[in-house]
């Protein structure tokens, strides 16, 4: 049985940036995995997102770095799918994260996004998150070798292999996860009223 991995491109540049180039390269590199791709800047329908999340055995999230956060399409996706938390769309499925950046900020984004995905119900297997920077890319070109102790593009292969390993385990062993209660009502409803606000001491 082929692993089914959904690549989620959360870049503000959509198909015109590093995230899409990496997405296309990953999709073309593994014949034993079935990939679908969501370009969130273009594909904005909740019903389609739900269908793709349900289809997938695991996920790879891609985004650039924008003012110390991930792309706005990914933020919108997370906001709109909040009520999917701990549902079968996420629960127990492994997620990898690849962040690109110019020079700084990417590691904090990686860690925060992994935390969000875990709270949604996804599993974060070992070595399934990385940040690749323009600074590292340029250093590699100048040195004609890999800058030591920095993430490299070749390590994306480790992310894919570890996701596939967890998917294989999930196929063989039915997981019975315990979950917390989730408010499935309107999560956007206001909880603060005008009468409760006083700006004068």
pLDDT digits (tens, 9 = 90+) for 57-87: 999 999 999 999 999 999 999 999 999 999 9
Query: What is the predicted pLDDT for the residue at 141?
Result: 82
Name the β-bridge partners of 38: 8
Residue 7 has pLDDT above 80, yes or no: yes
Length of the chain: 201
Residue 97 has pLDDT above 90, yes or no: yes
Query: What is the predicted pLDDT for the residue at 147?
Result: 63
Which pLDDT tens digit goes with each residue over 110-146?
999 999 999 999 999 999 999 999 988 888 888 766 6
Give the SS3 label for residue 26: helix
pTM score: 0.92
Residue 171 has pLDDT above 70, yes or no: yes
Residue 189 banded pLDDT, cuts 50, 70, 90? confident
Residue 188 has pLDDT above 90, yes or no: no
For residue 33, the surrounding DSSP H or E stretch is strand 33-39
Contact 16, 7 (CB under 8 A): no
The residues, ordered by sequence, that sit 6+ positions from 80 with a Cβ below 8 Å of its Cβ are 46, 49
Residue with the bigger pLDDT between 199 and 18: it is 18
- The answer to the question of residue 111 being in a domain is yes
86: left (phi over 0), alpha (psi -120 to 50) or beta: left
Query: What is the predicted pLDDT for the residue at 201?
Result: 63
- The answer to the question of residue 201 being in a domain is no
Which residue from 124, 94, 80, 98 is spatially nearest to 10, judged by alpha carbons?
98
**Residue numbers of the domain that contains 11:** 3-196
Cβ atoms within 10 Å, residue 92: 19
- The answer to the question of residue 119 being in a domain is yes
Contact 90, 116 (CB under 8 A): no
Which residue from 163, 135, 162 is spatially nearest to 150, judged by alpha carbons?
135
- The answer to the question of residue 163 being in a domain is yes
Separation CA 117–CA 124 (nearest Å): 8
Domain total of the chain: 1
Separation CA 20–CA 12 (nearest Å): 11
CATH of residue 72: 3.40.50.360
- The answer to the question of residue 26 being in a domain is yes
């Amino acid at each position: 049985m082929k692993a089914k991995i959904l690549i989620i491109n959360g870049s503000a540049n959509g198909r015109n940036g590093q995230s899409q180039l990496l997405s296309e390269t990953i999709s073309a590199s593994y014949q034993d995995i079935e990939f679908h791709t969501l370009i969130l800047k273009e594909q904005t329908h909740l019903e389609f997102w739900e269908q793709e999340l349900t289809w997938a055995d695991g996920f790879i999230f891609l985004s650039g770095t924008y003012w110390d956060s991930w792309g706005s399409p990914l933020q919108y996706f997370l906001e709109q799918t909040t009520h999917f938390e701990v549902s079968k769309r996420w629960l127990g499925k492994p997620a990898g994260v690849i962040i690109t950046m110019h020079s700084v900020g990417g590691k904090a984004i990686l860690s925060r996004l992994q935390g969000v995905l875990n709270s949604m119900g996804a599993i974060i297997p070992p070595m399934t998150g990385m940040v690749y920077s323009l600074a590292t890319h340029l250093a590699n070109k100048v040195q004609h070798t890999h800058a030591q102790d920095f993430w490299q593009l070749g390590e994306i292969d480790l992310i894919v292999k570890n996701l596939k390993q967890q998917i294989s385990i999930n196929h063989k062993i039915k997981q019975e996860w315990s979950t917390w209660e989730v408010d499935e009502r309107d999560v956007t409803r206001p909880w603060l009223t005008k009468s409760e606000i006083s700006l004068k001491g």
